[in-house]
């Protein structure tokens, strides 16, 4: 009976030992992926802020500016790209919609971001764009890779349409999570006008040519990133935009007219929701990558030790009903 039990334990030990590397190096890369149908919404606020009054062309202090960011997975387009790319691809259609204190639109910038579902590397395909203009992204945007490393990354900036290093600053503690803190500063850069402006009837393409005025932008971007999922649990920006030169900014000091200025932060309720979501996804990723493979390896080793122990006891003890040999006395 003991021998039969030891053989069963040995079979389970071999099974667990085989399943451990299979889960880590085969199942994890195939199962740890961004779902193509993901939908997410976040609300950010800058309060107080400075906003240009287009009626008087004067910047004024306002109580609050709201930025609504929506992210929607385009499943149909991702399947089309997967057919030619030969790998799992995610297509995100995103929109940053800026509202003034009166609830009216200040600007809106749509994007299409195409990337590898597992590595988060950009995938270059037709349709990759910012505000209707084709772009070719390098580095990451919105999300860092699974198991983010404590190092600098290239991060794509949608306003300048270019990628620049985002610097790893160090570890932090945020709402009970051990995170990595990153910073990126974009210096003053001339950028395109948004296609949709808050002034009806004005074509952004003609502002620079007709008025001789250009749009400039700078920001300090800050991310608190969960290193396991690569998802930012918090994001902030110290953001500034100006109109420079030409007719529109002629009366402004130094011909620099403030369009928007403020410290943008995620609203508290969305911040809590994001932290809870990341914590739940973190457990799933760790289970595939670490907990299950290590647990299976340790369990296999334990079952092997138990099987060997039972086998050793079986060999030491005589079987039930076997004759017991009694040694005869020896005379001198």
3 state DSSP class of 238:
strand
Specify whether the CB–CB gap between 234 and 266 falls below 8 A: yes
Same domain, 16 and 36: no
- Cα–Cα distances in angstroms (integers) from residue 8 to residues 148, 280, 301, in the given order: 41, 36, 14
Establish how many alpha carbons lie within 13 A of residue 170's alpha carbon, considering only the half-sphere containing its beta carbon: 2
Give the per-residue pLDDT at 332: 46
In this predicted structure, what is the pLDDT of residue 328? 61
pLDDT at 320: 58
pTM: 0.87
The reply to whether 99 and 201 lie within a common domain is yes
Q: How far apart are CA 141 and CA 145, in angstroms?
A: 10
Q: Is residue 66 part of a domain?
A: yes
Neighbouring-strand partners of residue 51: 60, 260
Give the domain extent around 182: 32-266
Torsion of CA 57, 159, 193, 53, to 10 degrees: -20
Residue 324 within a domain? no
Note down pLDDT in tens along the chain; length 332 residues.
Answer: 556 777 777 788 788 888 888 888 888 888 889 999 999 999 999 999 999 988 788 899 999 999 999 999 999 999 999 988 888 999 999 999 999 998 888 889 999 999 999 999 999 999 999 999 999 999 999 999 999 999 999 999 999 999 999 999 999 999 999 999 999 999 999 999 998 888 777 777 778 888 889 999 999 999 999 999 999 999 999 999 999 998 888 888 888 999 999 999 999 999 999 999 999 999 999 998 888 889 888 988 888 888 788 777 777 655 556 565 555 665 64
Q: How many domains does the chain have?
A: 2
Asked if residue 218 and residue 162 are part of one domain, the reply reads yes
């Amino acid at each position: 009976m003991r021998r039969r039990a030891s053989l069963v334990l040995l079979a389970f030990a071999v099974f667990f030992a085989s399943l451990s590397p299979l889960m880590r190096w085969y199942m994890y890369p195939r199962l740890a992926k961004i779902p193509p149908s993901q939908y997410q919404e976040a609300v950010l606020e800058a309060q107080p802020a400075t906003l240009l009054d287009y009626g008087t062309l004067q910047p004024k202090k306002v109580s609050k500016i709201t930025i609504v960011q929506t992210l929607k997975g385009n499943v149909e387009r991702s399947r089309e790209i997967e057919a030619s790319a030969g790998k799992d691809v995610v297509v995100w259609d995103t929109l940053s919609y800026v509202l003034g204190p009166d609830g009216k639109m200040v600007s809106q910038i749509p994007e299409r971001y195409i990337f590898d579902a597992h590595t988060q590397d950009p995938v270059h395909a037709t349709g990759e764009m910012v505000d209707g203009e084709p772009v070719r992204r390098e580095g990451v945007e919105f999300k860092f890779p699974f198991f983010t490393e404590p190092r600098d990354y290239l991060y794509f900036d949608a306003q300048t349409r270019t990628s620049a290093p985002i610097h790893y600053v160090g570890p932090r503690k945020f709402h009970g999570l051990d995170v990595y803190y990153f910073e990126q500063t974009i210096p003053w850069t001339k950028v395109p006008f948004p296609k949709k402006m808050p002034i009806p009837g004005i074509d952004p393409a003609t502002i620079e040519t007709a008025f001789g005025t250009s749009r400039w932008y700078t920001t300090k971007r800050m991310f608190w990133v969960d290193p396991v999922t690569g998802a930012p649990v918090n994001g902030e920006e110290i953001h500034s935009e100006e109109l420079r030169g030409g007719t529109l900014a002629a009366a402004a000091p130094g011909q620099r007219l403030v369009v928007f200025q403020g410290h943008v932060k995620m609203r508290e309720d969305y911040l809590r929701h994001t932290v809870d979501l990341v914590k739940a996804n973190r457990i799933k990723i760790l289970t595939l990558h670490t907990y299950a493979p290590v647990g299976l390896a340790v369990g296999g080793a334990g079952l092997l030790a138990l099987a060997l122990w039972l086998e050793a006891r079986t060999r030491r003890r005589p079987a039930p009903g076997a004759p017991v040999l009694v040694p005869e006395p020896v005379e001198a």
